A = this chain, B = another copy of it.
Amino acid sequence: MRRYLFRGRNMALIVKKFGGSSVATTEKIMNVAKRVLSEKQPGDQIVMVVSAMGDTTDDLITLANGITKDPYQYAREMDMLLTTGEQVSIALLAMAFKSLGQPAISLTGPMAGMRTDSVHTKGRIKDIQPKRVHEELDKGNIVVVAGFQGADEIGDLVTLGRGGSDTSAVALAGALKADSCEIYTDVDGVYSADPRIVKNARKMKEITYYEMLEMARLGAGVMQPRSVEMGKYFNIPIHVRSTFTNKPGTIIREDYTMEDKDFVIRGVAHDEKVAKIAVLGIPNTPGIAHEIFSALAEANIDVDMIVQSIRNIEKNVTDMVFTVATDDLAQAKKVVDKVADKLNAIAVLIEEDVAKVSIVGAGMLGNPGIAARMFGALSKAQINIDIISTSEISISCLVKGSQLKEAVNAIHDEFFPAKA
């Protein structure tokens, strides 16, 4: 960690984010305060970013449901309601520090200078002016900031949507030019594969922003992509670590330090929530891909893996196969059926027992044999590959859903062999 001299002292500015389960009770809040103080180095400046206590947000939504079935239609008022959750946490955590003799002060998102757009319940950070945060740090306070929230131009409260507290923390770390941003979670880092599926999954010491983003896009749930993007934008190292232990976790950063360059790939990601749609026997004329996918785009449905293959070269008839998220399947089917009719397709087939397994790693760029090793591992395990797609730093295979666990393990064993 970069440490700098300030008023003659060697000190660091660290942003630490604790989620809702870490502050679910007053006892847990006291534990967070004690833990932070036990790790604090003399002269360190610390900014805490916290979420609402445990189920508070759900409780507030239940209250709103007592007024109306669909409270989110009143998005501005939902933000007015939901922002109280973090406000309660920050007040209590600041009290906890003070009761332990540590000067501390709580600031709401707006007080900390978090300026957002006006898209209520799904706001995006536009600008951060953390003048007050600096002032309070300079007075010797630990500054406790409400995550997940900011204010728009006219001062209305806006929440940041899913993963918002992580985004708050990383963005604030960026604006403060912090030395690092620590995200405390119930997992202790980023693993080479989901530890619930792969027994030998390894905790990575480091991973790049790009790789983490690709892992998240391909199904790994540790960090929301927005906060990783924010880290990349500000070039702030994000340390993902456990609430429950003192062990180091995984640092998401621009590039590796030497020691951690051992593996050409960083992880095996998987996604079970995919479905395959095949439009069979359509005339292979210019514009048919456009016809299908623009109809889906209009319906706001993301299409992922796409394969076009020739069914009958003499009749110039082709098949179009692609995947969508399971959640979008029903609507996608409707859209595709209509287009297929128009194109005189032979049939539209749906397959739901599919899953996507992917490898991610910036190292594969200069290593041409990686794809072959992945396919080989699947082949050796008797797993058939349905569709293949690639990006700059990832390769994905669509396999049978029932074979997913086997597939993830086979690939993981290939790239992360068990230590002898």
Asked if A130 is at the interface (CB within 8 A of a chain B CB), the reply is: no
B63 lies within 8 A of A76 (CB): no
B111 lies within 8 A of A95 (CB): no
Q: Distance (Å) between the CB of A264 and the closest chain B CB?
A: 49
Partner of A77 from the list B29, B60, B94 (CB cut-off 8 Å) is B94
Q: Mark A84-128, 1 if CB is under 8 A from B, else 0.
A: 100110111011101100000110100100000000000000000
The main secondary structure of chain A at its interface with chain B is helix
Instruction: Please tell me the number of chain A residues within 8 Å of chain B, measured between CB atoms.
Output: 38
A26 lies within 8 A of B63 (CB): yes
Inside 8 A of A27's CB, which chain B residues have their CB?
66
Asked if A155 is at the interface (CB within 8 A of a chain B CB), the reply is: yes
Q: Mark A319-363, 1 if CB is under 8 A from B, else 0.
A: 000000000000000000000000000000000000000000000
Q: Distance (Å) between the CB of A103 and the closest chain B CB?
A: 11
Nearest-CB residue, chain B, relative to A33:
B67
Nearest-CB residue, chain B, relative to A71:
B95
B81 lies within 8 A of A98 (CB): no
Asked if A389 is at the interface (CB within 8 A of a chain B CB), the reply is: no
Q: How far, in angstroms, from A201 to B63 measured CA to CA in the complex? A: 40
Asked if A190 is at the interface (CB within 8 A of a chain B CB), the reply is: no
A67 lies within 8 A of B99 (CB): yes
Q: Which of A44-93 contact B (CB under 8 A)?
A: 60, 63-64, 66-68, 71, 74, 76-78, 80-81, 83-84, 87-88, 90-92
Asked if A30 is at the interface (CB within 8 A of a chain B CB), the reply is: yes
Interface residues of A (CB under 8 A from B): 25-27, 29-30, 60, 63-64, 66-68, 71, 74, 76-78, 80-81, 83-84, 87-88, 90-92, 94-96, 98-99, 105-106, 108, 111, 132, 154-156
